[in-house]
């Protein structure tokens, strides 16, 4: 098992003269750069990877993205098409790899791009969210704010001589953060502490639905008669917990259990509309999920 820390830069629809041109819903962000660092058993950088990707959908570089990444329109035309860049990245990663990234958006965007091109995703089944790992290890998880890489580097007194918002540099920085966090614990013990932060990026984590009933109907009864199934494995959820409501009785929260994925939380909202009470349900997998 080895760690590859990766970071992506992506493009989206460029604002046109007549307003923002449309993003494709199945590909809101198109990858234009992949940067990655493979880490040794001692969590030291072993090899680096970088690939420029030639976009097929959003060929014009979004101005905001150009400013943040310092990429040019010209540089976009020099890259490989995504399927080729990805196959090089897969070769670089090797087998049994944990892909670590800062936050959840890079794995999400990688998944969307792979799905868009119908590419085999089997190499990518373990991800590590370094942002949450940092929050828990360094700040005791008390602060639920999503910290930036810059913040974490400063917090850990790590040198920042490389420019930010370059895929490879950001991956290097995230690797240094992982190294610093694990060295505090000792590498082996540290790796054990990572386990709860690993997750499968292809799990379906959320499910939402709504139902309309006659206005004034008993809320608890309406909630209890729903069928609650796990978004990831579809098994029927069980619970002995009570349904918690807010003071105004318009929002509820209920904890249910999946044998495989642990306890899930369902958030429920009610709105009255044209003589009906409409209940909105949102069921989410715990983070990190049980079983990794």
Q: Please report which helix (H) or strand (E) contains residue 49, including its range.
A: strand 45-52
Contact residues for 135 (Cβ-Cβ < 8 A; gap 6+): 141, 143, 144, 145, 147
CA distance 169 to 100: 14
Our CB check for Zn ion shows the closer of 80 and 200 to be 200
Q: Contact with Zn ion (CB under 5 A): which of 4, 110, 168, 232?
A: 232
DSSP letter assigned to residue 245:
E
Specify the stretch interacting with Zn ion by CB under 5 A; choose among 39-47, 90-98, 253-261, 265-273.
Answer: 253-261
Q: Contact with Zn ion (CB under 5 A): which of 258, 266, 268, 283?
A: 258
CA distance 154 to 214: 55
Is 168:94 a contact under the CB 8 Å cutoff?
no
Nearest residue to Zn ion, scored by beta-carbon proximity: 230
Our CB check for Zn ion shows the closer of 191 and 290 to be 290
- Our finding on whether 97 is near Zn ion (CB under 5 A) is no
Our CB check for Zn ion shows the closer of 20 and 238 to be 238
Provide the CB-side half-sphere exposure for 175 (13 A, CA). 28
CA distance 218 to 74: 62
- Our finding on whether 261 is near Zn ion (CB under 5 A) is yes
- Our finding on whether 63 is near Zn ion (CB under 5 A) is no
Is 17:173 a contact under the CB 8 Å cutoff?
no
Specify the stretch interacting with Zn ion by CB under 5 A; choose among 38-46, 83-91, 125-133, 225-233.
Answer: 225-233
Binding mask 123-162 for Zn ion (x = CB under 5 A): ----------------------------------------
Q: Give contact residues for Zn ion (rule: CB under 5 A).
A: 230, 232-233, 258, 260-261
């Amino acid at each position: 098992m080895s760690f590859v820390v990766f970071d992506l830069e992506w493009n989206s629809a460029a604002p046109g003269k007549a307003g923002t041109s449309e993003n494709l819903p199945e590909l809101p962000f198109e990858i234009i750069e992949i940067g990655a660092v493979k880490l040794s058993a001692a969590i030291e950088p072993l090899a680096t990877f970088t690939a420029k990707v030639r976009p097929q959908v959003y060929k014009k570089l979004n101005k905001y993205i150009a400013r943040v990444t310092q990429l040019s329109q010209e540089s976009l035309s020099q890259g490989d098409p995504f399927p080729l860049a990805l196959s090089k990245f897969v070769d670089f990663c090797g087998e049994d790899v944990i892909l670590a990234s800062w936050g959840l958006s890079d794995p999400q965007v990688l998944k969307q791009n792979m799905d868009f091109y119908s590419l085999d995703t089997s190499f990518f089944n373990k991800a590590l969210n370094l942002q949450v790992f940092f929050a828990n290890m360094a700040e005791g998880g008390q602060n639920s704010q999503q910290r930036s890489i810059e913040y974490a580097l400063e917090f850990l007194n790590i040198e920042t001589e490389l420019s930010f918002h370059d895929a490879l540099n950001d991956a290097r920085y995230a690797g240094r953060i992982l190294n610093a966090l694990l060295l505090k614990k000792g590498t082996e013990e540290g790796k054990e502490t990572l386990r709860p932060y690993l997750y499968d990026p292809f799990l379906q984590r959320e499910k939402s639905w709504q139902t309309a009933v006659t206005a004034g109907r008993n809320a608890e009864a309406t909630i209890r008669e729903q069928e609650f199934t796990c978004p990831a494995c579809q098994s029927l959820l069980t619970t002995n917990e009570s349904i918690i409501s807010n003071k105004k009785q318009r929002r509820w929260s209920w904890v249910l259990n999946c044998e495989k994925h642990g306890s899930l939380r369902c958030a429920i909202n009610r709105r009255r509309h044209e003589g009906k009470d409409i209940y909105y349900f949102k069921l989410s997998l715990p983070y990190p999920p049980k079983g990794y």
